[in-house]
Structure 1
Amino acid sequence: MTASLAEQVEDLVTRAAALTPAGMPDDVLDHVGLVLADSVGVMAAGARTAEVVALAADPSLGLGRDPAPSTARTLVPGDGHGPPATVAWLNGTAGTFLELDEGFRPTGHPAIHVVPAALAVAEATGAGGAELATAIAAGYEVAARLFECFSLPRSMHPHGHFGAIGAATAVAMLTWLDPVALVRIAGTQPLLTGWEACYEGATARNTWSGHANRAGVLAGVLHRAGFTGSLRAHMSVVEQYAASPGVFAEPVDAETLRIRRNYFKFHSACALNHSVLDALLAAWAEFPVKDPWAVRRIEVTTVTANLRIDRLPEPNALSTRFSLPYAVAAALITGSTRPASFEWDGRVAEFARRVTVAADPVMDALWPARAPARVVIQTAGESREATVSNPRGHHSRPVTREDLRDKFVTLLADAPGPVPGGSAGRRGELTRCFDALAAVADCADCAALPLPSPER
């Protein structure tokens, strides 16, 4: 069975890697451009955190200010350049710091496992934008189907291993290498990742997606050096959790790629919070007098999958993002779900004890197509409730290009550290940057793509 499962994945990779820019519909290329622009914005904002800035400054990474042939740009303040594998690792790591990277149900975040690798390689090789967009779509398809197939144990996290196979697919397309050879190598070096790191707030967890991107890029390096790999090695570990292996045999059709069924995130927290937060804000809007401290109880009813984060957090800004009660309390007290709202606050943590969470079997029957949530807010004299079927940004509740542009601009204008254009013109510069990234298919040379950098 292991060989058969590996063969099915390799066949999927072969068919996905056969996608061509000429065969990609315009609306699909447009959507890939939005995924790219959104991912770059999220990575750039994460790259301004203290940890990533310090990491990029470490001499062992070998980043330099001056561009050299076959290098790529980091998104860290300082406009550093480096080998594609290092840049993909650094940008991929930055992309999960704020929990704003897009995703796919029933689990996983394909773009942040594919885009950093594909972008770094495309820039280093001078690939065209249409080639980059096609490679992203193909790598996303492979990663998304892997995330979709496997129902992992409750303690095991999907980041850092499946995504590397998608990254290697994209890299192979951009470098004209054998995609099966590359995914075999990427599949030989997966990480063992667990949810407990999210709960504790262990920020090294953010390197998981960075590792997957680096593994994808290094697969090409290792292949050129004569190394071989074994996808069976990875599949032999996870085959017992293959709940839906039939997804690998489905046709790869440019009209129905899974990247079109993604979701974009507008709350700086784990995606399992998002329906609840939308319902919370809708219910809160109905209160005539908005004094959060007058709230005595908040009852949350949602799908069982979301109960994974029904827990109180450790006192740090990563753990708070993986606590549904804390996320609810933070949104109500701060009036926002932007990154700053999830900085640890003891008062918010105490308020989170007023939040109760329960699963509803009727809602469970709708998962994963829907992730319903009902929130009831109670004060001494009043009660309001609201229900949503999916959060804003899910493909069933699509957002506009303008919504994503506003997220990009606001996120980077608010991010700590230098921002493009200085204080006077930064929003306009960021707007132009987003638009250029979203129109990636029209770009002749990815080395010329504008990236949000203090130097611009």
Structure 2
Amino acid sequence: MSTTSPGLVPASVLLAEPRPDWLAHWARFATGFSVDKLPPSLLAQAKLVMLDCIGAMAAGMQETENAALAGRLARRGRGEVAAIGAGVALRGDDAAFVNGIAGTALELDEGNQFARGHPGIHVLPAALATALANGRSGAELLTAFILGYEIGARVGAACRLRPSVHPHGTWGTIGAAFATALMEGADETRLAETINVAATMSVGASLSAMLEGATARNSYCGLSNRNGMAAWDLVASGFTGERDCVGSVYGSILAEGFSPAGMTKELGTRFEIERNYFKRHAACRFTHAALDVVVRLVAENGTLAPEAIESIEVATYAMAAQLDGPEPHNVLAARFSLPFAIATTLVNGEASVHAFREPSLSDARIRDLARIVRVREHADYTALLPAMRPAAVTVRLRDGRVLSGETLTNRGDAVDPFTADEVRAKFRDLAAPVWGETHAERVHAAVETIDTAENLTGLNGLLTEPAIKDR
């Protein structure tokens, strides 16, 4: 049979094509992988990423809707896996769901600029839940976490998501499924099958949700964790996937331009978890370059009072320029408003969690300042993606002075990283208000020694501790 309709490929053609070689390559690589063979620097980085994710989940769980969801899931049925920061233990898939949601709520979870998303928080909740269910060791959890992070990030880097698709919940589903399958002892054949089944369970969600402040957007990562676990359940039960579902979904449905070569290039010698970034500004990553410049201008020139500012101009790359809405109506929308993020940083002195909550959200000084921020795309900056995330900020003062600055990278990037101590300090800043300093330090110590833990019941017990306000 032949067809003339564009994009319609006959089954005879599809079925004649072989399964991509990279699937088998990845399955072989994963089954022979062990943290025992990894350099100390990679292990240390993986622990930092894990610690960062836990801090983001614990703090994010204190948001009203996340705490309510954890309580609702607990009423449906309790289990053994911590809903981190909620003070309850849930069934594994429910815990992975709510932990994934909580981890993205504050816009403080780590990410990978080459993947253009957040691999860690898409993988850790599912990996932890499955490791606990199977009595796995801390070293085995680290192994699954690193590999789940790696395969998810590589899919993200090997394609270009469509501009209307939100990156949360997409390729992270593959990472969650892969880590889950490893924790359940999948062989090479079923690991490869899991990749394809997980791809078809990716969330195809609208990017507009983040711009509109639709808080359902925070569920996408939770869905990735839950769907990843379900993908393995399907494969373990005998279900099968497409011959090349990753190529289908990330080559033409959610994304385009998928490059199989990217899945195996330098595999085993270059790890995406070592090319990650950490966040200190509690706002969308795309705002960070401009915020870094603003913070530097204040450090160099002293506090800039809102009434002294005539206008603020921002030139940045395309995705950041999209965040130009000056009138956010809720906390989530504020985190995705570059004008508001700049204004609240100038008034509060930092883009902290509280800088995006009340009373800042309705502060007239911040609102008025946000209205005089103008944002535009700089085509030369867009051309520097993904290796760089540039922005230039010009502040015109009413006394005639003009302050300006530029950055090509974001603080916390792989090329301008935070120190390990800075990442640990961030964890304490997020976890201590939840559990108190002493308990937060116990969690930190458990993560630091995770590779020597015979099982994960100790860490899980620490993560099940209720928040201070609940005692």
TM-score normalised to structure 2 length: 0.87
Partner of 1:401: 420
Find 1:239's aligned residue among 251, 276, 279: 251
Partner of 2:443: 433
Find 1:317's aligned residue among 313, 331, 342: 331
Deviates more, 1:233-242 or 1:295-304: 233-242
The alpha-carbon distance between structure 1 residues 74 and 60, as it changes in their structure 2 partners (threshold 3 A), is closer
Instruction: Decide whether the 8 Å contact of 2:100 with 2:222 is kept in 1.
Output: yes
Find 1:95's aligned residue among 90, 103, 106: 103
Find 1:30's aligned residue among 44, 55, 72: 44
Cα deviation for residue 432 of structure 1 reads: 3.1
Partner of 1:423: none
Q: Deviations over 1:408-451 (max 9, x none)?
A: 1112334xxxx32xxxxx22331232232133222221222232
- Tell me, in whole angstroms, the C-alpha distance in 1 between the residues paired with 2:228 and 2:355: 34
1:72 maps to amino acid = V
Question: Does 2:265 align with 1:250?
Answer: yes
Q: Deviations over 1:43-97 (max 9, x none)?
A: 1111111101111111576343xxx6xx32111422x222211111110111111
- Tell me, in whole angstroms, the C-alpha distance in 2 between the residues paired with 1:86 and 1:288: 48
Cα deviation for residue 35 of structure 1 reads: 0.3
Find 1:188's aligned residue among 184, 194, 200: 200
Runs of 4+ in 1 over 6 A off after TM superposition: 1-6
1:276 maps to amino acid = A
The alpha-carbon distance between structure 1 residues 166 and 205, as it changes in their structure 2 partners (threshold 3 A), is same
Instruction: Decide whether the 8 Å contact of 2:70 with 2:86 is kept in 1.
Output: no
Partner of 2:161: 152
Question: Does 2:75 align with 1:58?
Answer: no
Aligned length: 440
Cα deviation for residue 5 of structure 1 reads: 9.9
- Tell me, in whole angstroms, the C-alpha distance in 2 between the residues paired with 1:9 and 1:165: 14
- Tell me, in whole angstroms, the C-alpha distance in 2 between the residues paired with 1:360 and 1:104: 22
1:317 maps to amino acid = V
Cα deviation for residue 224 of structure 1 reads: 3.0
Q: Deviations over 1:174-200 (max 9, x none)?
A: 110231232233223222211111111
1:207 maps to amino acid = S
Instruction: Decide whether the 8 Å contact of 1:301 with 1:375 is kept in 2.
Output: yes
Cα deviation for residue 263 of structure 1 reads: 0.3
Cα deviation for residue 233 of structure 1 reads: 4.5
Residues 12-411 of structure 1 mapped to structure 2, 5 A cutoff: 13-18=26-31, 19-58=33-72, 62-64=76-78, 71-78=80-87, 80-106=88-114, 107-177=116-186, 178-230=190-242, 232-233=244-245, 235-240=247-252, 241-242=256-257, 244-253=259-268, 255-288=269-302, 290-343=304-357, 344-345=361-362, 347=364, 348-381=366-399, 382-411=401-430
Partner of 2:432: 413
- Tell me, in whole angstroms, the C-alpha distance in 1 between the residues paired with 2:450 and 2:239: 33
Q: Which has the larger radius of gyration?
A: 2
Cα deviation for residue 289 of structure 1 reads: 5.0
Q: Deviations over 1:125-167 (max 9, x none)?
A: 2211111111111111111111112212211112212111111
Cα deviation for residue 40 of structure 1 reads: 0.6
Deviates more, 1:377-386 or 1:135-144: 377-386
Deviates more, 1:329-338 or 1:341-350: 341-350
Equivalent position SS for 1:156: coil
Give unpaired runs (5+ residues) of structure 1. Answer: 421-425
Cα deviation for residue 454 of structure 1 reads: 2.3
TM-score normalised to structure 1 length: 0.90
The alpha-carbon distance between structure 1 residues 233 and 182, as it changes in their structure 2 partners (threshold 3 A), is closer
Instruction: Decide whether the 8 Å contact of 2:74 with 2:89 is kept in 1.
Output: no
Question: Does 2:462 align with 1:445?
Answer: no
Give unpaired runs (5+ residues) of structure 2. Answer: 1-12
Cα deviation for residue 290 of structure 1 reads: 3.5
- Tell me, in whole angstroms, the C-alpha distance in 2 between the residues paired with 1:220 and 1:47: 26
The alpha-carbon distance between structure 1 residues 305 and 201, as it changes in their structure 2 partners (threshold 3 A), is closer
Deviates more, 1:50-59 or 1:433-442: 433-442
- Tell me, in whole angstroms, the C-alpha distance in 1 between the residues paired with 2:404 and 2:201: 48
- Tell me, in whole angstroms, the C-alpha distance in 2 between the residues paired with 1:72 and 1:25: 30
- Tell me, in whole angstroms, the C-alpha distance in 2 between the residues paired with 1:104 and 1:11: 25
1:167 maps to amino acid = A
The alpha-carbon distance between structure 1 residues 246 and 313, as it changes in their structure 2 partners (threshold 3 A), is farther
1:397 maps to amino acid = D
Instruction: Decide whether the 8 Å contact of 2:412 with 2:418 is kept in 1.
Output: yes
Instruction: Decide whether the 8 Å contact of 1:156 with 1:194 is kept in 2.
Output: yes
Cα deviation for residue 369 of structure 1 reads: 1.2
CA root-mean-square deviation: 2.3
Cα deviation for residue 270 of structure 1 reads: 0.6
